Amino acid sequence: MAVRLQNVVKRYFGPDGSVVPVIDVPDFLLADGDQAALIGSSGSGKTTLLHLIAGILTPDSGQILFGPPDGGPGSVALTDLTEAQRDIFRGQYIGYIFQTHHLLPGFTALENVLLGMTFTRRAHDPPWAMHLLSAVGLADRLHYKPAKLSVGQQQRVAVARALANRPTLVLADEPTGALDSKNAQQVLELICNLCSEISASLLMVTHDLEVASRLGRTYSLSQLNRAAVEEVVK
């Protein structure tokens, strides 16, 4: 699914009541099926931008369009939806991968993935959940709870959970940031391969140029975001 941002602005209020601009993106397009990295330093607004695209936050002004990028028939303006409608839309069309797994400790790997299906009107699909866990190398860990899994394995479960509803857009917020280099490479490859399998677009934010180089396209937040301070990416 394509997503387009047009004149999207988000501001916060400082402790002294001053207005702090965080996001000011005049135009950004992630084409249908694209796999792109968004690079930027810590605190540059990357997570805020992802939260705006996911509908977790709402912009102060501007539009976020899903579907045809020209806003034609079939396009959905996320900014026109109510909070409840955004929640439903996100559950049906957007998969979100966090830097830390956020798995429910009392549930097994399989149950955590199945729970990812409960936020939409889709019926539980255990064969698909098991396929995803097998694809991330956890076919023999279906019934393990998070405490019995390594950090890398926990993040793989989180990847499977994010794709449980076959989203058309996957947003990944530093998904390899807490992993060592070997596990980071494996998780990155899994995300890219699974997104290709379900024909989902992928936008991954990172501060790591090596991770960014493995994706098809790279954007710098400092170039897209007029509110960004000058940043140095290491």
| Residues 149-169, mean pLDDT to the nearest whole number | 92
pLDDT at 50: 94
| Residues 169-184, mean pLDDT to the nearest whole number | 86
Query: Alpha-carbon distance 15 to 200, whole Å?
Result: 40
pTM: 0.89
- Return the minimum-mean-pLDDT range out of 51-60, 112-121, 179-188, 193-202: 112-121
CA atoms within 13 Å, Cβ hemisphere of 94: 23
The CATH number corresponding to 3-224 among 1.10.10.10, 3.40.50.300, 3.40.50.10800, 1.10.540.10 equals 3.40.50.300
Percentage helix, strand, coil for the chain under 3-state DSSP, each rounded to 5: 35, 25, 40
Question: Percent of the chain, pLDDT > 90?
Answer: 56
Render pLDDT for 81-100 as a digit per residue (tens, 0 to 9): 999 999 989 988 999 998 88
Domain ranges of the chain: 3-224
Does 231 have pLDDT greater than 50?
A: no
Render pLDDT for 1-11 as a digit per residue (tens, 0 to 9): 799 999 999 99
Does 117 have pLDDT greater than 50?
A: yes
Does 230 have pLDDT greater than 50?
A: no
The mean pLDDT value of the chain amounts to 87
pLDDT at 120: 63
Render pLDDT for 216-226 as a digit per residue (tens, 0 to 9): 899 998 888 88
| β strands within 104-200, DSSP E | 169-173
Total residues found in the chain within this entry? 234
Look-up of token digits 């997570």: 47
pLDDT at 121: 59
Does 196 have pLDDT greater than 80?
A: yes
pLDDT at 40: 81
Render pLDDT for 140-156 as a digit per residue (tens, 0 to 9): 999 999 999 998 899 99
Query: Alpha-carbon distance 91 to 110, whole Å?
Result: 18
Taking alpha carbons only, the member of 135, 150, 134 closest to residue 189 is 135
Render pLDDT for 32-69 as a digit per residue (tens, 0 to 9): 999 999 998 777 788 899 999 999 999 999 999 998 76
